[in-house]
Chains A and B, each alone.
Chain A
Amino acid sequence: MDLTLLADPVFLAQNIVDGAARGALYAVYAMGFTLIFGVLDIINLAHAATFTWCAFAGWLVMAQLHLPLPAGLIVSMAAGAGIAVLLELLAFRPLRRTGSDRLSSMISSIGASLIMVSIAEAVFGVETRRFPDSALDPRPFLLGGAGGLRVSRAQILIVAAAAVLALALGFFIRRTRMGKAIRAIAANLRASRLLGIDVDGVVVITFVIAGALAGAAGILVGLLSNNIAPGMGAQIELRGLAVVILGGMGNIEGAVLGGLILGLVETFAIAYLPGGSDIKDAVAFLILFLILLVRPNGLLGRKSAVDA
């Protein structure tokens, strides 16, 4: 470890900024993932594939049709919502009908994910795509001159978008009638149905929200790393799982907190540890493993992890 780096306040601040942006991104991705688990007990491993397709939707709109970023964002979120609803209708709802357990829905989502990623490979090829520079000015703001803090527009946008999305989701779940229905289903699906809640309708809305969040994450990743490829889902899949377990499965505030923690830890590992950039992919797993070891319900846990 380079001790002079520790003493450098600009370097420290830079890593906090980078880590927060990275973490905000993980949070947006994980919120949709944890929402589905919290409501339906489904580990949707096709969330990453949804995210991948959304990034490509955004790429088509911005790089091929040359439309501006807001259009890309809207199309991407709409695509995510549409894909998520398809998943619900084709891969999850039939299983709910037969009363299958959650391993079945997990396996079903793995199958769906494989189909989606394979089609993406067939359609787009394996090479990496980029959003056009016209989407968002890639030049960073420099605070404190040339050697100072660099904050990119993408980073600002990501943090702002994450905050807006998290607050909006929180408001929606807590304050609206539909949000109340979603919470009722999360508490007890059968009782909700008996009480006259249109369970299937509410579940579709839940998937729309989760898919839209995956869509937003797809665009934000594209802006931050500028690296769009069919395999990009694999990068975020494990991180999303680590974030969700860190925060507590099904816990939306937990997803935000867990996302920020993972983003910061990864960034600091890269910056301060020798060979850090090599192990950054393993950081998520280490966190996941440690949290399962010491606190399986996560930091803000809700659902019980331990078998009765």
Chain B
Amino acid sequence: MNRAGLRRFLPGAITLLILAADAFISVRNHADLDRLLINGILALSAFATLHARMLSLANAGFMAIGAYASAILSVKAGLPVTLSFPAALAICGIVAVLIGLPVLRLTDVYLAICTLGFGEVVRILIVLLPGLTGGPTGANLSTGFPYEAMRRVDTGMIAVFLAMLVYLFWTMAPSKTGRAFRAIRERPQAASTMGIDIVAYRSLAFVMSALIAGAAGAFYAHSVGSLDNGDFRFTRAVDILGYAVLGGSGQWFGPLLGAGLLTALPILLRDSLGASIGFLRSFAQLPNILTGLGLVLVIVFLPGGLAHVFRAQVTARRPHALPPGRTGEGHAVPGPGVARPAPGTSALLSVKGLGRVFGGVEALSGVSLEFDEGGVYGLIGPNGAGKTTFINLVSGLSAPDSGTITWRGREIQGHRAHEIARAGIARTFQGVRLFDEMSVLENVVVGHHSRVHTNLASTWLRLPRETREEKAAMNEAAVLLARLGLSDLAGRPAGALSYGDQRRVEIARALALDPRLLLLDEPAAGMNDAETASLGSFLLELKRRGYTLIVVEHHMDLIMGVCDRIDVLNFGRLIAQGTPAEIAGNEQVLEAYLGREEG
């Protein structure tokens, strides 16, 4: 293992050491150790969703399903645990898909609300089906779940499962899938403009979470040896959330840390203090109060959780050594695979009668424009003229209320952002939306998302394809960074860069999509004159390479210097169009725009 790998591994190793110490100090019997391990599994189930910026409170519900399903199948149907366990997981997966379908396309809070209700319904069903589940008082000796028949797992099996999960999350973190999750977690909109299908990844995360919680439930049933629907109350969901939030949901070891602390502390209190301090013993609510306090305090004061202490090195992969001869100024920017449109076909992009209304205000109204391949187009206008709205509509972040957007002969209005990104339209954002916690190199590699042909199987099995594809993406990203003079910064977290550098990284990330059309929303904002001038020459080089550019900018020198044509918007309407010279002399434009710009 090289140094970079070791550094990546270190936080995890420390966490495991702490967990081991916790266990060694506090665990007096196997029941406690089982609980510690099971809570660790539960913590990872919360991590799976939080990691994709979803708050799911369904973990307790899926845990209940896993527990009851495996108990019923093994004890009542007589299946061996080796069959009842995967069957229970399959049931959890199916339920997760059914629950997730309507909810995952909605905004974040709806998932939380729906899953909160789901947990309650599972408990109601358990109570309503006493023949199957033993009813409200639970599955115990009297209702056909003999303790001896239930006790089917030992601590070792749970530990092996947890270790396996750790491996899965650990190897996933620096993979295509892990990057997509982290991108969604930091900036969902920017992630979708990188070609990442947010709904698909959220569905994956939700199902993963359900399977893991179901597994924890099955282990729980066979470890405790009896079941009570009260074990899966909302408090349980909050506990699980507490593990992940307290430990930190940015990296996989955070939730484990949280679970270790929140499980071991009460055990420690019980074993060492409880005996001597009667007050604590009687105060059964203390663990809950501590969990609650922990949630509030961590969210307010330490949003990254305790794992933030280890954040010096995030899971970011260090840049590979750049291949010789492929670095530095003057190297080719990869062109957009210049296949000119067949003769006779129309513009690369054309919009007709485009309109968008926000709360009664026409942000854009009846705008029709054509953009030919290889041109550089300036889009200018006063604040609120509809420029960013235009970019958002073309890039699919919002859908037009009227009009059509035709891209290479195909209407794309209303398509989702990741589809449009994959079709060859990339964009940058007005206020820079990088994935701040990722390295600069990783940001650019996210841009390669739809061109990296790996999946979880190749990641987990360490197939040769995984290494090959990852290395190729890293190398291409490194070349892009070199061209933009950013090689030195490749390993730095993007959030730590200066504003000007962040803008350049954002352009590199957009280019990584291998687009034909690049939409730049105020690329020179926050740049000084020298930086703007160098940006200008870079844009011209992109043009030479065959890219088509639409540039929204207030910086007139830049616009006048690089654009073939300038379109002027005011109050959502197109008021002028022409060459830079024509626009500079246009009375209407001067009045609407330049005239009001001081200096």
Contact = CB atoms under 8 A, between A and B. Distances in A.
Interface in B73-106: 102-103, 105-106
Most B CB atoms within 10 A — which of A91, A100, A114?
A114
A168 interface: no
B102 A245 contact: no
A271 interface: no
Interface of A: 43, 45, 90-91, 94-95, 98, 100-104, 106-108, 110-119, 121-122, 234, 237-238, 241-242, 245, 249, 275, 278-279, 281-282, 284-285, 288-289, 292-293, 296, 304-308
Interface stretch (B110-118, B154-162, B165-173, B270-278): B110-118
A103 B300 contact: no
Given A118-B292, A305-B107, A308-B189, 15 more contacts: A43-B113, A98-B300, A108-B295, A108-B300, A111-B296, A111-B299, A118-B289, A119-B289, A234-B233, A238-B116, A278-B128, A281-B124, A285-B117, A288-B114, A289-B114
Contacts of A307: 105-107, 188, 198
Contacts of B118: 285
A304 B285 CA distance: 39
B143 interface: no
12 contacts: A98-B300, A98-B303, A103-B109, A106-B112, A107-B241, A107-B295, A108-B296, A112-B296, A115-B293, A118-B289, A278-B124, A288-B113
A228 B138 CA distance: 25
Contacts of A90: 296
B294 A111 contact: yes
Contacts of B397: 308
Contact of A110 (B102, B113, B121, B295): B295
A111 B242 CA distance: 8
A280 to B, nearest CB: 9
A108 B299 contact: yes
Interface residues of B, number: 48
A91 B117 CA distance: 23
Contacts of B105: 306-307
Contacts of A292: 102-103, 106, 110, 114
Given A114-B238, A279-B128, A94 B300 contact: yes
B285 A118 contact: yes
Interface string B50-83: 0001010000000000000000000000000000
Given A102-B109, A122-B283, A307-B107, A111 B398 contact: no
A238 B106 CA distance: 19
Contacts of A293: 102
Contact of B299 (A100, A113, A237): A100
A103 B292 contact: no
Contacts of B284: 121-122
Nearest to A114: B292
Contacts of B383: none
B235 interface: yes
A43 B299 contact: no
Nearest to A234: B234
A275 B107 CA distance: 35
Closest 5 CB pairs of A and B: A111-B295, A114-B292, A115-B292, A118-B285, A285-B117
A241 B57 CA distance: 14
B53 A103 contact: yes
B184 to A, nearest CB: 11
A305 B106 contact: yes
A238 B112 CA distance: 11
B124 A102 contact: no
Interface in B418-475: none
B120 interface: yes
Nearest to A108: B299
B108 interface: yes
B542 interface: no
